[in-house]
Amino acid sequence: MTEAAQPDRPRDRLTHFRWWIILALLATGMAIQFTTFINQDLAWITYSARWLLHGAAYGRDLIDPNPPLAWYLAFPEAYLWETWGIDPGVSTPLICAALAMAVLCYLDRLPSLYSAYFPRRPMTIVILALAYWLLIGCADGLGQREYLGALFGLPHLLLSPSRYRGLVLSSGAAVAIGLLAGVGYSLKPNFLVVPVVVELASMAHFRLFKPLFRIENWALGLFAVSYAALILILVPAYMTDMVPFVVQYYWAFERSWAFVILSVAAFIMILLIDAYLCMKGARPDLQLSLIPGAAAFLASYLAQHKGYTYHALPFKMLATTSALLVLLSTDWIREKARRHLALVAVAVGWLLSLSQVGQWYRVANIMNGGYAAETRQLIGILDRHAAGHAFLALTSHPYPAFPTALYTEAVWGSRADSLHYLPAVARLRAGDRAVGAADREITERRAWDALRRDLQRSQPAVILLFDPPDQPSVEEVAFDILGFYREDPTIDAIWRDYTETDRTRSYRVFVRAGSPGS
């Protein structure tokens, strides 16, 4: 008697169509990026990376509180812009998309290469969730240091628990994964907490210590240490000038804890639900990466204390990916209460993300967005009054100098992207921090010195003054920017050559006598 034939196993449609879904996400993401201006931080990095290609010294000719690795990674965009005239607003999304697709392709190969460690359906869910965040959910965070740190660290992060379980990688693959993670996590020092937390979680779960010393961790650590040593040797000005600035004055860019926490409160709830549901049921290896990784990136976000949307990108990405994995890849959530809890986590996370992307695109799109309209207006003003000459902006953030400087015939006239000391001056005068009169005078003198040097060196034809009608002008403080700087006699004398000629929604425009169109 022959055994009855077994019916074929139903095809997993999600897995079967995964690359069609990813390609649709890619097309949508690129359509969004190509119809918005490049992020102000990326515009500044690419613009000033071109200075480095011409021999400028980081920390002397280019001033920024962040370590220089992001500028080195921007050399391809700067070179394409310099040599071929390719707009960084085009090259940056294309390069980031190519990197994201390469990482996703590698992750998609894991179930085929190591099926015992990476079941196909859970991995498909993870890849699709990550693809959404890397191509659409990132919004204007595409290419930011958080984006690249999370992207470059993904292979190391997702492979870590399986390495404790006994997965064997070739030496070449392990070195490549470790070096890639080293590059990503070295972009900001606080990112290094991520591999530490993920490794500790795997060590505690498997009660093993030896896998900690595997090849990719040595490669990661070697890159981070080598990069730190190279900064000390090759960029000493960063250590002697910018690190003390960050320690003494960067507090002024911080936002209130209420704002920082409330900005991600829903996603913190999602992470707690993920952890609770995993504790109550099975704990697949992928969750040993996603939940500790999300918690570590949350710690990084909180440590920065600014509440910027892109700072929270890696945390949101891993938390919502974990929630989707809990809901769709397991059959152990049988109690209605737990299933409903998982559904709430998934719905809240993804609806919030889509809402945030929509809100950003509404103001940023080049067709009718308010932010884009003001940027175009500023480009026209600078081309009319400062073509071939320098311009400056009195504000504490890279905008409006960037991305405007990428698209105008005027030249940015400062070594920095904004007035770095201005927030500290404004908040000290508002009484936000108790300091002695001598310390306050030193801060104000440094602020005056920085602007005076820029005015004398570049002799800008146009100066843009941030003066919004409906919001504080400096880091949540109502502050008379122009009044403060004109307290310096030299700056006041220079300013007398300028006349206010135009106004956008948030900026007053001052043109120097004798400039084109004055």
Three-class DSSP category at 464: strand
Q: 171-185 and 215-234 are packed helices; what angle lies between their axes, rounded to 10 degrees?
A: 40
The SS3 of residue 379 is helix
* Cα 312 from Cα 356, distance rounded (Å): 12
Would you state the pLDDT for residue 329? Answer: 60
Mean pLDDT (10-residue bins), the chain, 518 residues: 41 81 96 95 97 92 93 97 94 97 96 88 91 96 97 97 93 97 97 97 92 96 96 88 83 91 95 85 80 97 95 97 79 59 81 91 91 95 96 95 96 95 91 79 94 96 90 77 96 96 94 79
The pLDDT, as a whole number, for residue 237 is 86
pLDDT at 15: 81
Tokens of residue 77, six digits: 């965009």
Q: Determine the pLDDT at residue 249.
A: 85
The DSSP-derived string for 189-234 is GGGGHHHHHHHHHHHHHHT--GGGGSHHHHHHHHHHHHHHHHHHHH
pLDDT confidence of residue 11: 56
Which of 244, 237, 256 is CA-nearest to residue 442? 244
CA 243, CA 237: separation in Å to the nearest integer? Answer: 9
- Residue count of the chain: 518
Residue 164: per-residue pLDDT? 94
Instruction: Supply φ then ψ for residue 48, to 5 degrees.
Output: -80, -20
Q: What is the pLDDT of residue 334?
A: 56
- Measure the CA–CA gap between 27 and 10, rounded to whole angstroms: 30
CA distance linking residue 453 with residue 61, whole number of Å? 12
Q: How far apart are CA 316 and CA 295, in angstroms?
A: 10
Within 10 Å of residue 80's Cβ, how many Cβ atoms? 19
CA-nearest of 408, 410, 339, 331 to 376 is 408
Q: Do 157 and 193 form a contact (C-beta atoms < 8 A)?
A: no
